[in-house]
């Protein structure tokens, strides 16, 4: 059974159809890149999988481990193992990062019927992961993402990914707003999380990110559909030729 | 005003309230004369209503209807229930002064521990001292309205605390008002006199014993702070959900003093805190933080009048309200800058978080400026919880209610963070968390 099956998905936002029948299958352990020009529907796909309000699914389905994802609230999806790394992580003043991390982790564990982490175990785990991501401890005491640089915000997303141990990670434009050094640190963090039991969907406009996170499969989206799929070489091909050919094809 | 006003909702004459209680109201003959006069003022005015500007949004006649009869003196059973409530609401490390149904309870108070640092008397003790010709002054205040007059007439007890010059209190003082009686009123009046150079934290908590409810509280506090002092004054109005609490406080601030005032309302069907704060010495700073946490059909009003009577003082008011269901929050802030009060820096801000379509917030900021070299202003924001923040938290596994609670805590936390004492801050956070748990 596939980990994620998106079948003929049609999605509207305020009466306008954005996805016109999108199909995508992701198996455990695979890394898929979704590329495409602005407005092709890449971010819409990630939002619909995570359960963001404001999108109306008019047709098709999304199965996650064989279950109907569209029937679940966003928090249930998270507890089942879906993680969306936000393109623009929000700032939450007044909620300390540490409090947020523990509350979220324990909420997910509770939803799965697992015992809550003890404080020492939790702290140990956070310290380990944040050290590997080069996240200073004092950052964790601040409000969630408050005053963080673009790179710090993305590293905070990767930190959460490492803590929550999701089986599906969707990285929405992880490279936006990052310089090369920041991108490398974040990408190293992501690569460290690649495992046979975990799949990733990397959404990006640019091929650059895929030099750091090398995908198994590349899909090109245009006008709300996947118009071409292939191996990692497809990304290089796109880099050379651009998206124009697909815009015509779609 | 008119004869009809002097009747309560069920037709009982208002004067019965005083007549039936008079035998229990402490005071020498001169004090009783002051009480009579105050009651006549109340009888003439009746309960405040919406046609009185200061009470426009809190029409006590419509919201409360009538003043309930004076609560009985607490008996052994009541004191036992009060003791349990005190245990549940005591702040770790604080020294307690307890009033039960408007009567001081020495056995529940930490008089011995307090005696080393402060002088404590009861209002009853001072009012009944026939050798003190000025005892009646304790029932007089600069401004009077109907509820303050009623308080002067009916106050059964309170604490009279004075802190000598230069004292640094080693622990906060917590005055706990416990209601054990249902369907009755408690009237209390306390005086706090704080000397030069004092550092102190004074907390007042309003709580119900067990399931006590439907009671009314009318409290008055007269706080006088000397020069060079650093004072935190905290009020925690955590009454039963069907109670009524109207509190008036009069504060005089000396020179070069810092006063941090904090109020949090988490209970009562109808509550009003009206504060009258006057700067009487230059170079002082007031920071006032108010938090109204309201749900169901609760009505919570905070009215602050800050009077810059002298130059070079700073006042900062930040008032937050979290309003759910059909609750109604009122904030009225007035900053008065007297003609001589140059270099006054006075600002107020209100922030309302509306959790339901039917929640209501009324803000009335007023600036009365008679000096020309001042910096004064006010601002207001109102809105719902931010959807993008809610989604982020839900996408990380927090169920809707928990995500909301975390954001509400953050909103309220900005005010609570101003409380310096660790134990006290934790205590206040605990009250806010219990309020969140009560949300349906």
- CATH number of the domain within which A199 lies: 3.40.50.300
Tell me if chain B has a CB within 8 Å of the CB of A142.
no
Q: Do B391 and A73 lie within an 8 Å CB cutoff?
A: no
Prediction ipTM score: 0.96
Tell me if chain B has a CB within 8 Å of the CB of A78.
yes
Neighbours of B32 (CB within 10 A): 16
pTM of the predicted protein model: 0.90
pLDDT > 80? residue A250: no
Tell me if chain A has a CB within 8 Å of the CB of B400.
yes
What is the span of the domain harbouring residue A138? Answer: 2-246
**B372 within domain boundaries:** yes
Mutate to test the interface with B, among A81, A82, A94 (most CBs of B within 10 A): A94
| Residue linked to tokens 């949004």 | B57
Residues of B in contact with A94 (CB under 8 A): 409-411, 413-414
In the numeric block, which tokens belong to residue B362?
């009324």
Q: Do A100 and B396 lie within an 8 Å CB cutoff?
A: yes
What is the span of the domain harbouring residue B48? Answer: 16-385
pLDDT at A177: 82
- Quick one: CA dihedral A5, A10, A12, A18, positive or negative? positive
State how far the Cα of B136 lies from the Cα of B142, in Å rounded to an integer: 14
Q: Do A92 and B398 lie within an 8 Å CB cutoff?
A: no
Per-run averaged pLDDT (10 residues), chain B, 440 residues:
44 71 90 94 94 95 94 96 97 97 98 97 95 92 90 97 98 98 96 98 97 96 98 97 97 98 97 98 97 97 98 97 97 97 97 96 96 96 96 98 95 92 94 91
Q: How many domains does chain B have?
A: 1
Out of A74, A92, A100, closest to residue B395 by CB: A74
Q: Do B414 and A92 lie within an 8 Å CB cutoff?
A: no
Judge contact between B306 and B336, C-beta under 8 A. yes
Residue B57: name the closest of B351, B308, B306, B300 by CA: B300
**B403 within domain boundaries:** no
Q: Do B396 and A160 lie within an 8 Å CB cutoff?
A: yes
DSSP B157: B
Q: How many domains does chain A have?
A: 1
**B305 within domain boundaries:** yes
Out of A86, A93, A99, closest to residue B392 by CB: A86
DSSP B280: -
pLDDT at A134: 81
**B428 within domain boundaries:** no
In the numeric block, which tokens belong to residue A192?
């460290």
Q: Do A160 and B387 lie within an 8 Å CB cutoff?
A: no
Q: Do A104 and B397 lie within an 8 Å CB cutoff?
A: yes
Residues of B in contact with A77 (CB under 8 A): 395
State how far the Cα of A177 lies from the Cα of A198, in Å rounded to an integer: 26
What burial class does residue B440 get, using C-beta atoms within 10 Å of its C-beta: 0-12 exposed, 13-18 middle, 19+ buried?
A: exposed
- The residue of chain B with its CA nearest to that of A94 is B410
């Amino acid at each position: 059974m596939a980990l994620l099956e998106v079948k003929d998905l049609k999605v509207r936002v305020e009466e306008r159809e954005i996805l016109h029948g999108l199909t995508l299958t992701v198996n455990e352990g695979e890394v898929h890149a979704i590329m495409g020009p602005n407005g092709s529907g890449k971010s819409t796909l990630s939002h619909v999988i995570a359960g963001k309000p404001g999108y109306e699914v008019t047709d098709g389905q999304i199965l996650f481990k064989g279950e109907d994802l569209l029937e679940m609230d966003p928090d249930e999806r998270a507890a089942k193992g879906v993680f969306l790394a936000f393109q623009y992580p929000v700032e939450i003043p007044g909620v300390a990062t540490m409090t947020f991390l523990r509350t979220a982790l324990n909420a997910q564990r509770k939803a799965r019927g697992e015992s809550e982490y003890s404080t020492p175990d939790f702290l140990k785990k956070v310290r380990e992961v944040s050290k590997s991501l080069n996240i200073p401890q004092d950052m964790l005491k601040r409000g969630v993402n408050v005053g963080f640089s673009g790179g710090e915000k993305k590293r905070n997303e990767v930190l959460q990914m490492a803590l929550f141990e999701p089986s599906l990670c969707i990285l929405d434009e992880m490279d936006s707003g990052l310089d090369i050094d920041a991108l490398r640190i974040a990408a190293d963090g992501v690569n460290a999380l690649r495992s046979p039991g975990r799949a990733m969907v990397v959404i990006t406009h640019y091929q650059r990110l895929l030099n750091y996170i090398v995908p198994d499969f590349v899909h090109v989206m245009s006008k709300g559909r996947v118009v071409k799929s292939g191996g990692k070489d497809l990304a290089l091909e796109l880099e050379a030729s651009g998206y124009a050919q697909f815009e015509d094809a779609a | 005003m008119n004869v009809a006003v002097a009747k309560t909702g069920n037709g009982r004459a208002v004067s019965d309230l005083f007549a039936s209680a008079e035998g229990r109201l402490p005071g020498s003959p001169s004090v009783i004369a002051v009480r009579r006069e105050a009651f006549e003022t109340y009888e003439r005015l009746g309960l405040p209503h919406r046609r009185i500007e200061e009470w426009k949004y809190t029409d006590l006649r419509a919201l409360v209807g009538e003043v309930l009869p004076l609560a009985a003196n607490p008996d052994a059973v009541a004191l036992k229930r009060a003791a349990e409530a005190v245990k549940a609401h005591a702040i770790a490390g604080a020294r307690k002064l307890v009033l039960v149904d408007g009567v001081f309870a020495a056995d529940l108070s930490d008089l011995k521990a307090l005696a080393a640092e402060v002088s404590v008397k009861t209002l009853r003790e001072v009012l009944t001292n026939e050798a003190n010709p000025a005892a009646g002054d304790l029932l007089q205040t600069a401004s009077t309205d109907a509820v303050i007059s009623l308080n002067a007439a009916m106050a059964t007890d309170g604490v009279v605390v004075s802190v000598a010059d230069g004292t640094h209190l080693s622990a906060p003082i917590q005055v706990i008002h416990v209601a054990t009686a249902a369907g009755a009123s408690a009237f209390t009046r306390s005086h706090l006199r704080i000397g030069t150079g004092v550092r102190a934290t004074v907390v007042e908590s309003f709580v119900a014993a067990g399931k006590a409810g439907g009671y009314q509280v009318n409290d008055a506090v007269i706080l006088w702070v000397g020069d060079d002092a650093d004072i935190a004054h905290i009020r925690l109005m955590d009454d039963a959900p069907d109670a009524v609490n109207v509190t008036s406080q009069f504060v005089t601030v000396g020179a070069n003093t810092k006063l941090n005032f904090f109020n949090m309302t988490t209970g009562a069907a109808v509550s009003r805190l009206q504060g009258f704060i006057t700067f009487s010495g230059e170079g002082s700073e007031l920071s006032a933080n108010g938090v109204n946490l309201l749900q169901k059909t609760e009505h919570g009003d905070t009215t602050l009048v800050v009077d810059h009577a002298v130059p070079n003082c700073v006042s900062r008011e930040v008032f937050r309200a979290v309003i759910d269901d059909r609750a109604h929050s009122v904030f009225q802030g007035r900053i008065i800058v007297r003609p001589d009060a140059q270099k006054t820096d006075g600002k107020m801000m209100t922030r309302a978080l509306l959790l339901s379509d039917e929640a209501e917030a009324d803000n009335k900021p007023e600036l009365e400026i008679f000096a020309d070299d001042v910096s004064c202003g006010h601002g207001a924001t109102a809105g719902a919880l931010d959807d993008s923040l809610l989604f982020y938290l839900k996408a990380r596994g927090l169920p809707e209610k928990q995500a909301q609670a975390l954001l509400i805590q953050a909103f309220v936390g900005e005010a609570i963070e101003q409380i310096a004492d660790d134990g006290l801050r934790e205590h206040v956070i605990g009250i806010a968390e219990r309020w969140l748990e009560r949300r349906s």
